[in-house]
Amino acid sequence: MLRAFFTGLGLLLVLIIAVAGFRGQKSSEPPIEIFPDMDHQPKVKAQVPSEFFADGRGNRLPVPGTVPVGYEMPQSGADPFPDEGKYRTVRFSAGTDYFNTGKFGTKWGTGIPLPVTAQLLQRGRERYTIYCGVCHGASGSGNGVTSQYGLVAIADLHQARLRDMADGEIFNTITHGKNTMLGYGANIPVDDRWAIVAYVRAIQLAGAATLDDVPPDERAKLEALPQP
Ligand code: HEC
């Protein structure tokens, strides 16, 4: 028993020396790699030439017009907010104030911290259509195109709970998402998030409107129309 153990131990030592012992020799052969992992990848390293591209550069130039994140977007055409120097199309959450979080301390706040103008609502409608309509639907009732492709339980923005919800909480849902809805804080600048909140308020108001909400003179005009 003991002899078998020592024979085994001796063989093991010989094996270890045979495999690991002669590492001092120099060799021009590539090393034997038992687990190459991802050591060799067909990729271009930074600042290295490449024959793949006609101009011989490995690094590609950015697409013309590329704007680095955090820089002011050059305005094409007329400034959409000439009167509102405060409005920024590139400004992401930075800070803990109401404007950036929708909260006062630990409580949701309510109110739109930008001048609520027709322009802001137009902007909100445009941004809502781009970012929210695909799921929540143009009218906010949760029947956007994704509902035809298997996305279930998209919130109907006209439910009483969401009509009564503080503006800040809706802002926060846009920023961070809620349950199965992902957040858009990294995609939609703060000002645009408030523009969307204002527009969501407008569609909620429209969804719950009654004839009494129509101003009297407008209502008279409607009633003067030939009734079907
Ligand atoms: C990819 C689909 C999708 C997009 C895009 C999307 N949502 Fe949602 N949203 C959902 C789903 C699904 C829920 C329900 C989440 C839950 O509570 O299970 C939801 C819930 C909500 C709620 C209710 C949150 C609560 O407290 O119950 C609000 C408000 C809302 N979304 C607003 C928006 C706004 C504004 C946008 C655009 C910036 C947007 N959503 C974009 C899918 C989406």
Nearest CA to ligand 1 atom 3: 135
**What is the identity of the amino acid at 35?**
F
Per-residue pLDDT of the chain (228 residues; tens, 9 = 90+): 788 999 999 999 999 888 777 666 788 888 888 898 888 888 888 889 999 889 999 988 888 877 776 666 555 555 555 555 556 666 777 778 899 999 999 999 999 999 899 999 999 999 999 999 999 999 999 999 999 998 889 999 999 999 999 999 999 999 999 999 999 999 998 999 999 999 999 999 999 988 888 888 888 888 888 877
- Which of 181, 187, 190, 196 has most ligand 1 atoms within 8 Å of its beta carbon, as the pocket-test mutant? 181
CB 133 within 8 A of CB 199: no
pTM: 0.69
Q: How far is the CA of 180 from the centre of ligand 1 (A)?
A: 8
Nearest CA to ligand 1 atom 25: 178
Looking only at the bridges linking them, the beta strands covering 107-108 and 177-178 are unpaired
Name all domains of the chain by residue range, CATH numbers in brackets: 98-213 (1.10.760.10)
Nearest CA to ligand 1 atom 42: 181
Report CA-CA distances (Å) from 103 to 111, 155, 171, 187.
11, 22, 9, 20
**What is the identity of the amino acid at 81?**
F
Specify burial of residue 58 (Cβ count, 10 A radius: 0-12, 13-18, 19+).
middle
